[in-house]
Each structure stands twice: as C-alpha cells, then as structure tokens.
Amino acid sequence: MRAIQTIKNIWKIEDLRNRIGVTLLLIVVYRFLSVITLPGIDPQALAFLQDQTSSGLMSLLDMFSGGAFSNASIVAMGIMPYISASIVIQLLGIAIPYFQKLQKEGESGRRKMNQYTRYLTLAVLLLQAPAYLVNLNVQMKQAGSAIPSGWWFTFSSTIILAAGSMFVLWLGERITDKGIGNGISFIIMVGIIARLPQALLQEIVSRLNESAGGLIGFMVEIVALLFVIAGAILLVQGTRRIPVQYAKQMIGNRQFGGARQYSPLKVKAANVMPIIFAHAIMFIPITLIGFGSADQDSWYVKVFAPLSDLQSFWYNFIFALLIIAFTYFYTAITINPKQMAEDLKRNNGFIPGIKPGKKTAEYIDEIMSRITFPGSLFLALVAILPAFAGIFGVKQAFAQFFGGTSLLILVGVVLDTLQQVESHLLMRHYDGLLKSGRIKGRQGTAYS
C-alpha cells in the first residue's frame, strides 16, 4: 500500500526521522505538564472550574491550553499570553517609528522584536496569573474548598504559572528549530486535538440517547463537518500568492508584464490573525465581569454577559464585524502596495495601461480591497459556524470543531506539517504524499 511505503520512506530519512521524534517527545512533555496541578491545590475541588470552562469564552481558553486551564496546571496560562504580546508588538510596528525601523532591519531587527515580545509576554503573565488565581479561588469555594491563603502562595504560584508558560514557549521554539512544523502552532493544535475524543464521545452519547433519529442526526453532523473542513482547507490555501492567469481575471484581464509566474497579490493575506485579534477583544467582557466574582445583579454583568455566550446573537454579530474590520486592518499592515509597485519597477515588471510608481500602487491597493472583502466575509462565516452548529443541537464542545479558530488552526498546521514532510521526501527523490500534485500549506505556492 502507498501509505505503508510512504511511512517506510519517512523512516529511511534520518534527519526527518529525528525531527519527528523530537517533536513527539516535546509534545509528550507538554501534555505531561498540563496535568500537574499547582502546589497546594486539591485536584478533587476543581469541578466548578471545569464546569466554568465547559462553555462560553472560557472554553476557548481551556481548549487552547489543552485542558491545562481547567486542571489548574502549572502551564495553565498556555501560549495565549505570547500570542497577545505578539499582536501588541505588531501593532506597535505601525504606530511607533522605532519598531517600524526594527521591521526593516532584517534578521537583527527580527531578533530584537522577538526579544521585546518575550519581555511583554512575561509582563502579561505577571498580570494574568494573579487574576487566574482569584478566579480559581472563587470556583474552589463553590466546591467547599479554597486555595491556600497568604501572599506567599499568590507570589509563588504567579512565578510558577509565568515560568510554566515561558517553558511552553521554549518548547514551541525547540519544535520549530529541532522538530517539524511551527512549534507554537503545533502546541496549540495538540491542545485542540486533546479535546476532540471527549467531545466526540459526548456527542455520540447525546445523539444515541435521543428517542428517534439520533444516529442519522450524528451522520448528518459528520457530513456537515467534512464540508466545513473542505471549506477551511480552501480558506487556508487562499493565503498563497495568486498565479498570474487568475490575477489577470481579478484585475480585469490585465497582466503583470515582466512577471514570470506569480503576481504580487494574495487571496487572503491576513490568514487566521483577524480571528485571533477579534478573540482578544471579545475576552474583555470576561475581565469586566470579574471571572464570575462580581455581583450577578450589577448592570455591567447584565450588559456584558451576553457577549460571553458563544451562541448569543450579539456575540456573533460583533465578533463577525470585528473579524471583517481586522481582516482589512491586518492586510493593510502586511501588504504594502507602494513597496510592491517599487519591486515591480525594480524587476522590470509592470501592469500595461497603468503608469509605474504611484498609479501602480493605487491600482494594487484597489485590487487588494476587492480581494479582501469576500475573504473577510468567508473568514467571518467560518468563525461563527459553531454558533449555527449549536442552533442545530450540536453540543458546544463538539460544535467548536465546526469552525472558528480551532478548525482553521488544525487545518493550517496539518497542511504546513505535511508540506514540510513532503519537501523532505522530494529532496531525497522519494514520492510525495499525494499521487499527483503537492500539498499546499498556508505559506505554500501552487503546484500542479
């Protein structure tokens, strides 16, 4: 069989075999740490915390941490503080000239940006860890227990949570350097997959307990999920550059003179970042509510509580609008039409009928706006699909796999990882993973 032969070919390549082994080993270490509870915490008293993270926005935090959040683990903060810090640093690259200069300094500038990102990650952790402990104490009191009192426990636990999250970041970097795939994305993907077996089992049991049509309903869910996955694959692959023949159709049958194979345009340059940006904004209501510790009759709890419900109309409406807005915003900061126009001119490229320089930059900017709009709508639709799945009776734990950040991350990381494996195979003159063509990842180009 082809699959068995492919596995044999992978095993024959020593470098690829070692990289896969290192990746699996570091993932095992991460999963082991995710079940180690903070010192002084009774694991039996975490039932209310686990109930709190079974629905709403808190379930997303728990999903991205692979269950470490609900386990009160030493790595409970996960990788999200680093992602938040990365977003802030990217925004600073727009507003502050110093960071703009660093972005143009190549490898040395990138190292400095990464260093600032780590410093900011640590600062975010030192703020979020005490808040996590406050929430943990509230939930444990409902179970008839409590965290140890005193400043020493708060101080030591904050240091442990911060160190745990930084260690997870280090594991991700080691996977990137010594393993296969993007380490940070791989860790998030593993955390998401860890929730899949339990969510799938709960959905099966729920459907089988229905009086009639339960099994048929589950089969319909699986078929719908396969269609959504296919759409997510198309969306993820839409981040690659547009071949010239398709670019010509999008820009009114004009062509990029001097261009050999690809235009400087992309279908969806923002990737999954707009959803992550939007999630960061939507997490604010949880902070305002005070992680459940505030008076439930207060006006701001009544106002912001619907924005914490993943299936509420206002949550999904505002979430979709934020995604569309952030898609345009992120595309604007990552795609520079002026630089593209200069690169085209420098490489003897041109668009017939359009003057080089400013006119070309304006024309590319206009086309990017046209391309970004349908991409932003599709991205927003995929992001809110879990709410529609919930309307049709799918439990929230399983509904998260019908769209949103989780599905796009899963599809993107799997495609990128398989693309790297295939590259190693082709470099050693082995057959690829597919009978025809090549796998296209988020950063890949089109092959035939």
More confident residue, 208 or 250: 208
pLDDT of residue 431: 66
The residues of the chain that CATH labels 1.10.3370.10 are 197-448
11 dihedral zone (left: phi>0; alpha: psi -120 to 50; beta): alpha
pLDDT, tens digit, for every residue of 147-162? Answer: 888 888 889 999 999 9
pLDDT of residue 64: 76
pLDDT of residue 248: 42
With a CB cutoff of 8 Å and minimum separation 6, the contacts of 269 are: 239, 330, 331, 334, 335, 368, 372
Q: What three-state secondary structure class fits 403?
A: coil
Evaluated on CA atoms 226, 229, 231, 234, the torsion sign reads negative
pLDDT of residue 120: 92
pLDDT of residue 286: 63
CB 361, CB 341: distance < 8 Å: yes
CB 69, CB 78: distance < 8 Å: yes
pLDDT of residue 285: 66
CB 354, CB 197: distance < 8 Å: no
Rounded Cα–Cα distance for residues 382 and 2 (Å): 33
Helix/strand/coil percent split, the chain, to 5: 70, 5, 25
pLDDT of residue 25: 93
pLDDT of residue 9: 77
Reported as a pLDDT band with limits 50, 70 and 90, residue 181 is: confident
pLDDT, tens digit, for every residue of 264-282? Answer: 455 455 566 777 777 777 7
Rounded Cα–Cα distance for residues 101 and 409 (Å): 31
Q: Quickly count: other Cβ atoms within 10 Å of residue 1's Cβ.
A: 6
pLDDT at 430 over 80: no
| Residue 391, burial from CB neighbour count under 10 angstroms (0-12, 13-18, 19+) | exposed
CB 255, CB 228: distance < 8 Å: no
253 dihedral zone (left: phi>0; alpha: psi -120 to 50; beta): left
pLDDT, tens digit, for every residue of 200-233? Answer: 888 888 877 776 667 787 888 888 888 877 877 7
Reported as a pLDDT band with limits 50, 70 and 90, residue 246 is: very low
pLDDT at 94 over 90: no
Reported as a pLDDT band with limits 50, 70 and 90, residue 247 is: very low
Give start and end residues of each alpha helix (H) in 34-106: 47-52, 57-64, 80-95, 97-103
pLDDT, tens digit, for every residue of 306-328? Answer: 666 777 788 888 888 888 888 88
CATH architecture of 197-448: Orthogonal Bundle (1.10)
Residues 152-188 as b/e (b if ≥16 CB within 10 A, e otherwise) read: ebbeebbebbbebbbebbebbebbbeebbbbbbbbbb
Rounded Cα–Cα distance for residues 48 and 292 (Å): 11
Residue keyed to tokens 């900017």? 365
Q: What percent of the chain has pLDDT over 70?
A: 79
pLDDT, tens digit, for every residue of 390-423? Answer: 777 777 777 777 766 777 778 878 887 888 888 8
pLDDT, tens digit, for every residue of 221-230? Answer: 888 888 877 8
pLDDT, tens digit, for every residue of 358-394? Answer: 888 888 778 777 778 887 888 888 888 888 887 777 7
- Alpha-carbon distance values, 143 to 67, 91, 121, 140, 176 (Å): 19, 42, 32, 5, 41
Reported as a pLDDT band with limits 50, 70 and 90, residue 55 is: low
Rounded Cα–Cα distance for residues 282 and 276 (Å): 10
Q: What percent of the chain has pLDDT over 90?
A: 7
Q: What pTM was estimated for this model as a whole?
A: 0.75
pLDDT mean over 348-354: 74
CB 92, CB 40: distance < 8 Å: no
